[in-house]
Amino acid sequence: MVVSATVGPPASTDQIWHWLGEVSDPEIPVISVTDLGIIRAVEWQGDECVITITPTYSGCPAMDVIAEEITKVLHSHGINLPSIVYQLSPAWSTDWMTEAGKQKLSGYGIAPPQQQVVDISSIRRYRELQPAIVCPQCGSVDTQLVSQFGSTACKALYKCRACLEPFDYFKPH
């Protein structure tokens, strides 16, 4: 019996995307790197698996941890030493976060980023309206900004006037 000499990659890129869903964000363990939308590409270049990542913030120290975690998870699935490539442009945007990721954030007690509401009814009085930030504890929109910076630079600190609980808001950018 003749066995073909051509050996395909050990896993499809779809399968690798799926495995990357097991890698959680070190700062918010309930959401995965795929939920965050930082994985831009998964491809095979010859027998090397190349993962392209766009950091949420440049110089974010969590990125090293994420790269290590990705290497560990893929290794556990039989993929040795994936290449992690950082792509800084276009910059990561909270729009890349999946709906599932936003829901998990809310369940974790962090208000997910919301689209800025822009009132374009009159260009003359063009202004940005603050979107209503929903309290992740009780669902009230009666919330108030306490500080532009919460537990990390990418979050703002809010306070709910209904349940009086403070909470982090993941700022859109």
- Kindly state whether residue 146 participates in binding Zn ion, applying the rule CB under 5 A: no
Determine the interface stretch with Zn ion among 4-12, 36-44, 72-80, 155-163 (rule: CB under 5 A).
155-163
163 contacts Zn ion (rule: CB under 5 A): yes
Nearer to Zn ion, 24 or 143 (CB): 143
| Residue whose pair of structure tokens reads 């209904």 in the numeric block | 162
Nearest by Cα to 46 from 16, 7, 84: 7
Contact in structure between 24 and 55 (CB atoms under 8 Å): no
Residues 97, 113 contacting (CB under 8 angstroms): yes
Q: Are 109 and 168 in contact (CB under 8 A)?
A: yes
Among 16, 97, 134, 160, binds Zn ion (CB under 5 A): 160
Query: Does position 62 bind Zn ion by CB under 5 A?
Result: no
In angstroms, give the least distance from the CB of 160 to Zn ion.
3
Residues 106-135 close enough to bind Zn ion by CB under 5 A:
135
* By CB under 5 A, residue 162 contacts Zn ion: yes
Distance CA 89, CA 75 (A): 28
Residue 15, phi then psi, degrees to nearest 5? -65, -40
Size of the site for Zn ion (CB under 5 A): 7
Per-residue DSSP letter, 81: S
CB of 162 to Zn ion, least distance (A): 5
**Residue 133 C-beta: closest distance to Zn ion, Å:** 10
Calpha distance 116→114 (Å, rounded): 6
Residue closer to Zn ion (CB basis): 60 or 160:
160
* Interacting residues toward Zn ion by CB under 5 A: 135, 137-138, 140, 160, 162-163
